[in-house]
Amino acid sequence: MTEEGRRRGRNETEEERADRMWGELIQEVRVAQTGVQILFGFLLTVVFQPKYERLTSTDQVIYIVTVVLGACATGALIGPVSLHRLVSGRRVKPQAVRLASRMTFVGLVLLLATMTSALLLILRVATHDGYVPYLVSAVVAWYLACWFGLPLWARRRHTTQPQDG
């Protein structure tokens, strides 16, 4: 069979596609939600530890920023569940999937910022060394490569272009 003779994509209605994409999105969100909720829960306990009072004012600001970022990431990653519940049965699933996908992307960016900030704080407190910003930058570069670089490369490399005709 020639390349032109092969069927490309799926033969599904807009609603079927939305149902499939919703299921895939929710599976993805479950992974991210678990990570952000564990991190956020841990962050909430730090302020109650005796060592918190001994942190420098800079480290306390980093902690507060980290907690706020974690709260925002949690909200963005739980948002698709609330969205689905509030619009369920309203025949807007394709639009809801697009909005939930955007919320998930924002949640991942906020999770990246939360993890970066948490790593910065932990390494500053643990080491007090000048190499901390470089180490954090290397980890952030790794996150960016894994979370965004490789997926965008794969999307560009393997997405078929519609043929004219």
105-129 mean pLDDT: 95
Q: Which two tokens stand for residue 123?
A: 């390494």
Looking at residue 128, its pLDDT comes to 81
Is 149 inside any structural domain? Answer: no
Is 138 inside any structural domain? Answer: no
Is 158 inside any structural domain? Answer: no
Q: What is the pTM of this model?
A: 0.85
**Domains of the chain: total:** 1
**What's the 3-state SS for 28-97?**
HHHHHHHHHHHHHHHHHHHCCCHHHHHCCHHHHHHHHHHHHHHHHHHHHHHHHHHHHHHHCCCCCHHHHH
Instruction: State which residues form the domain around 109.
Output: 15-129
Contacts of 12 (CB under 8 A, 6+ apart): 20
110-125 mean pLDDT: 96
Is 139 inside any structural domain? Answer: no
Is 35 inside any structural domain? Answer: yes
